[in-house]
Amino acid sequence: MAAIPLDLLDRIRALERQVRELSGRSQMRPAMDTITHGRVTIGEGGSLAVIGPSGKVALSTGQWPDGTYGTRLGRDDGSAAWTVGGSGTDTANMVRMWSRGGSAIVMDDAYSDRHLGRPSLPLPWQPTSATTNSTTGAISWYAATRVQCPVFWLGIETYCPTNLSARIELEANTAGSNTWENWQTWTVSGGTAGRWTANEITRPMHRLPHFTHITLRIRQTVTSGQGSVTTNVLGSYQRNTFTPGEAPQAPPASLTKTTAPLVTGAPAAEPARLAPTLRADNP
């Protein structure tokens, strides 16, 4: 009988051992909690949810019950912390951060694709000469900011003494030159006893891209009578749109810091939400 080398027998025994190991592993269920390579696809209207022991959803992504698609991050108590998308045509594809009480504290805008919706950002004004008797026009307030939200709001009041009338103008500069666009003009009068007149201005940021630098000013002119006119800024901010009609018009494609054309024409009439008020005190 021919002699079989010992190393060959060792190799045969090692091969048998490996075959047994492979046979055993083929009968084992592979791990289902790890993906090391490749891509996971959920199609046909599917979704993925991560649900805690209490039944609260910590993460869900995919198709929502209304048929749209989005992503939701939740807190331990089930309240939403961050969502992309949502129900209804007004909020479709919006990105929103939610407070624990259920208010959207950070979001893009429902009707303007180019602007921030929330938070509303205050716009501080600096007085130069709040009181004037100029008949040719004097600047009383200045403000400068970058456009973030799509709608501008200003609350203002003006005092006129007896038998005096004045013109108030809100102007904007976006071109970086000494060219000013008229955003709003209105008249006030003191009547027979002198009075304060309140005005509220709401205006879309027409043709102004997000993050455009803008300078604003308020000009006062005495148009009739003797004495001085005084204007106070009560407050001012940028905010989100409330209706589709408040969405700003799109900026021209050629808009730049140095060549940006200013909006022409008078702005639309503002709703009369603040009636004129009378105050007995003088400025």
DSSP for 53-107 reads TTS-EEEEEEE-TTS-EEEEEE-TTS-EEEEES-SSSSSTT-EEEE-TTS-EEEE
| Bridge partner residues of 182 (DSSP) | 171
Residues of the chain with CATH 2.60.120.200: 121-246
Q: What percent of the chain has pLDDT over 70?
A: 82
Tokens representing 241 are 């749109």
Between 220 and 39, the more confident residue is: 220
Please tell me the predicted confidence (pLDDT) of residue 40: 86
The arithmetic mean of pLDDT across residues 187-208, rounded, is: 96
The burial class, CB within 10 Å (0-12 / 13-18 / 19+), for 91 is middle
The arithmetic mean of pLDDT across residues 105-127, rounded, is: 95
Please tell me the predicted confidence (pLDDT) of residue 31: 67
Residues 203-254 have pLDDT tens digits of 999 999 999 999 999 999 999 999 999 999 999 999 999 999 999 999 887 5
The yes/no answer on whether domain 121-246 falls in CATH 1.10.1740.10 is no
Count, in order, helices (H) and strands (E) of the chain: 1, 17
d(CA 151, CA 68): 28
Q: How confident is the model at residue 161 (pLDDT cuts 50, 70, 90)?
A: very high
pLDDT at residue 283 tops 60:
no
pLDDT at residue 89 tops 70:
no
Task: Indicate the pTM of the whole model.
Answer: 0.76
The arithmetic mean of pLDDT across residues 20-35, rounded, is: 72
